């Protein structure tokens, strides 16, 4: 079961595509967070979603929001993916222990071994204010994230 609106967002500590440690709690009191889980780097729908976010990044940064994208790929895979696609926001690796953060948010597909498409808008106090969870083939609409941020 995915984390619900009103829940305290589970803290996590993951490595980004540059090997730096990123903790959700680092943003508490400072920035809202759009936490986006996606299945795999280099796949069609995932690449489309992440490049759309890249192309619209000011819609998040202008709203005092940090975008964090999480997959179960290794940091090495994420580094190459970010460089190839020009992704300037952190890509976080939930590779090992495999899927722990995805499981904590209730978006890990045990049969496929990857996260499904879950997005959580988290306010500056660390509370989930909006969420959507889609199946593997179903892209999300980033405009919905912006509407959710505008309602904070």
Residues marked active site are found at 46
- Of 27, 39, 56, 37, which is closest to residue 124 (Cα–Cα)? 27
Rounded distance, CA 38 to CA 47, Å? 10
Question: Distance between CA atoms of 102 and 99, rounded to whole angstroms?
Answer: 5
- Residue 76's contacts (CB-CB under 8 Å, 6 or more residues apart) are none
Rg (the chain; Cα; Å): 14
């Amino acid at each position: 079961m995915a984390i619900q609106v009103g829940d305290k967002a589970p803290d996590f500590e993951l490595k980004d595509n540059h090997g730096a440690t990123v903790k959700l709690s680092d943003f508490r009191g400072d920035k809202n967070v759009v936490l986006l889980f996606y299945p795999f780097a280099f796949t069609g729908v995932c690449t489309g979603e992440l490049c759309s976010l890249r192309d619209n990044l000011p819609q998040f940064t202008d709203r005092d929001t940090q975008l964090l994208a999480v997959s179960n790929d290794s940091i090495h895979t994420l580094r190459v993916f970010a460089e190839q696609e020009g992704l300037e926001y952190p890509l976080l690796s939930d590779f090992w222990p495999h899927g722990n953060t995805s499981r904590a948010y209730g978006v890990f597909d045990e049969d496929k071994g990857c996260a499904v498409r879950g997005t959580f808008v988290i306010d500056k106090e660390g509370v989930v204010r909006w969420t959507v969870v889609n199946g593997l083939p179903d892209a999300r609409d980033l405009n919905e994230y912006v509407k959710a941020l505008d309602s904070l």
